[in-house]
Copies of this chain bind each other. A is one copy, B any other.
Amino acid sequence: MIVGNLPTETDTMIVEIADFKVRPEQRAAFLQAITGAATAYLAKSEGYRGHRILACQESPGRVVLTVEWATLEAHTVGFRQSPAFAEWRAVIGPFFVDPPHVEHFDVTVTG
């Protein structure tokens, strides 16, 4: 672990893409909830590098969260096995219509 090193674009190793489906009439409330929870829980996790919350234009119940992590394990172990993850899911989980679809990606090109 490097202590005191500022995060930079080149630190990014992994992008998580999480696809959420909520009821369209609840999407505004969901966006507010996940925005607050991301700041409170996600962004404080070790290895977190940044995130975006994206609201789909074509599918009114679709929200995509992208998270940049230093490593895969920063997400799958560091965050998911932390007490903060239970808090995070308690806030956003009640909005889900389907289980979220979550996968991890290597960035092959940034242009």
Complex contact B104–A31 (CB within 8 A): no
Size of chain A's interface in residues, with CB distance under 8 A?
31
Q: Does A54 sit within 8 A of B, measured CB to CB?
A: yes
Flag if B105 contacts A57 (CB, 8 Å): yes
Q: Which of A14, A38, A54 has the most CB of B within 10 A?
A: A54
Copies of this protein in the assembly total: 2
Does A18 sit at the interface, judged by CB under 8 A?
no
Q: In the complex, are the beta carbons of B43 and A103 less than 8 A apart?
A: no
Contacts of A43 in B (CB 8 A): 111
Contact B17–A103 (Cβ < 8 Å): no
- Shortest beta-carbon distance from A43 to chain B in Å: 6
> Across the interface, which residues of B come within 8 angstroms of A107, CB to CB?
52-54
- Please give the residue numbers on chain A whose beta carbons come within 8 Å of chain B beta carbons, in ascending order: 14-15, 17, 31, 35, 38-39, 43, 50-59, 62, 64, 66, 72, 103-111
